[in-house]
Amino acid sequence: MSNRKIQMPREVYIDPGIINDTADICKSLHLDKKILIVTGSHTYDIGAVPVIESLEKADIDCDVIKVDKASFESISEVEELITPDTTVLGIGGGKVIDVAKLSSYNQGVYFVSMPTTASHDGIVSPLASIKNPNSSTSAKAHSPIAVIADTEIIAQSPFRLLSAGCADLISNFTAIKDWKLAHRLKNAPFSESAASLSIMSAHLITDNVSNIKPNLEASARIVMKSLFSGGMAISIAGTSRPASGSEHLFSHALDKILDKPALHGEQCGIGTILMMYLHDGDWRAIKNSLKAVQAPTTASEIGIAEEDIIEALMVAHKIRPERYTILGDNGISKEAAYELAYKTGVI
């Protein structure tokens, strides 16, 4: 059997109030034998409680587990609660969705993705960004059978999370530049359709910045739809390449260096300014787009010390050596890292 299959969700709902229809959606998909809700401590009240009410009214058996880390320990704890009849509902941010996605994949049961915010592009993709100590790649998992995105809940989530989602999408611009470079220099497999969809998803944000505002359902819808198409680009490519290049390596390096990193999308956004400069591209336009959606553009805005930015720039190329980027095989020198961070105003 070919390894090169493209996975897509079967049903996608992006609507205000749709969370209250969860039981009906599960029934229509024959996923109503047993539900396991994976959620977080903040998202329990916001997302899980209305879903539990909807399932109880429909007499659907349901269990809940809260997770606080996207780790292999959390995944094992969730897997212990899964039986062959279970459907796993991930209700929360990226961390919760990744844990629900990977645990359901490992146990061979269906997964429904229910984002409570629009902060990252893993909502519909078949990959989980959970690294184990021996591997630097995203873990292979599966696409959700359904995506239920309640844009009213997403609109009410902290705007910082939505801005981070916009920044995760804006990072597609450098991810694609890196991917093309790797294709030309290293013959890395490249998909024109995935790359085009990825760039289009980023443009849905940068061409619409004036319509992305706090507490507006229409804004949540724009970001969610862009994350959906960005996730589809990842599905088509079968790798995170269309959405993860050198700017993500920089963010992953910060995650390793720092005890308390900033949001994933925020770090990737700042990484995009830096890597666009290295690509000799229009890094000022990236910065302006980030500012327009209220995403941070400097180290001090996300509370990261200058020396940690420099350290992350110097080690980023080692995070995933098999994925060639503008950082090359040897990375950049300390002096060049300072120059880069200083000239772009990141430090």
Ligand X SMILES: NC(=O)C1=CN([C@@H]2O[C@H](COP(=O)(O)OP(=O)(O)OC[C@H]3O[C@@H](n4cnc5c(N)ncnc54)[C@H](OP(=O)(O)O)[C@@H]3O)[C@@H](O)[C@H]2O)C=CC1
Q: Smallest distance, Å, CB 129 to ligand 13P? A: 3
DSSP secondary structure letter of residue 5: P
Specify binding-site residues for Zn(2+). Answer: 168, 248, 264
Residue closer to ligand X by CB (options 94, 245) is: 94
Which residues lie closer than 8 Å to 223 by C-beta, 6 or more apart? 118, 154, 162, 165, 166, 169, 205, 212
Partner that binds at residue 157, options ligand 13P, Zn ion, ligand X, none, CB closer than 5 to 8 Å by kind? ligand X
The length of the chain, given as a count of residues:
347
Specify binding-site residues for glycerol. Answer: 121, 168, 248, 264
Q: How far apart, in whole angstroms, are the C-alpha atoms of residue 296 and residue 71?
A: 27
8 Å CB contact between 11 and 25 = yes
Q: How far apart, in whole angstroms, are the C-alpha atoms of residue 347 and residue 310?
A: 9
Q: Smallest distance, Å, CB 104 to ligand X? A: 13
Which residues lie closer than 8 Å to 136 by C-beta, 6 or more apart? 252, 319, 320, 321, 322
Tokens of 276: 């666009």
Amino acid residing at 43: T
8 Å CB contact between 103 and 67 = no
Specify binding-site residues. Answer: 94-98, 116-119, 121, 125, 127, 168, 248, 252, 264
Residue closer to ligand X by CB (options 32, 74) is: 74
Q: Give me the residues that bind ligand X (CB under 6 A), please.
A: 40-43, 46, 70, 92-96, 98, 116-117, 119-122, 125, 127-129, 138, 153, 157-158, 161, 164, 240, 263-265
Q: Smallest distance, Å, CB 204 to ligand X? A: 17
Q: Does 248 bind ligand 13P (CB under 6 A)?
A: yes
8 Å CB contact between 32 and 93 = no
Q: Smallest distance, Å, CB 201 to ligand X? A: 13
Q: Smallest distance, Å, CB 244 to ligand 13P? A: 3
Q: Does 168 bind Zn ion (CB under 5 A)?
A: yes
DSSP secondary structure letter of residue 138: P
Among residues 74, 138, 246, 344, the one that binds ligand 13P under rule CB under 6 A? 138
Provide the sign of the torsion angle of the four alpha carbons 257, 261, 265, 266, taken in this order: negative
Residue closer to ligand 13P by CB (options 32, 178) is: 178
Q: Smallest distance, Å, CB 170 to ligand 13P? A: 11
Q: How far apart, in whole angstroms, are the C-alpha atoms of residue 247 and residue 315?
A: 12
Among residues 240, 272, 325, 344, the one that binds ligand 13P under rule CB under 6 A? 240
* Stretch 45-84: interaction string toward ligand 13P, x if CB under 6 A: ----------------------------------------
Nearest CA-CA partner of 164 in 237, 245, 272, 238? 272
Contact positions vs Zn ion (CB under 5 A): 168
Contact positions vs ligand 13P (CB under 6 A): 121, 129, 138, 168, 240, 243-244, 248
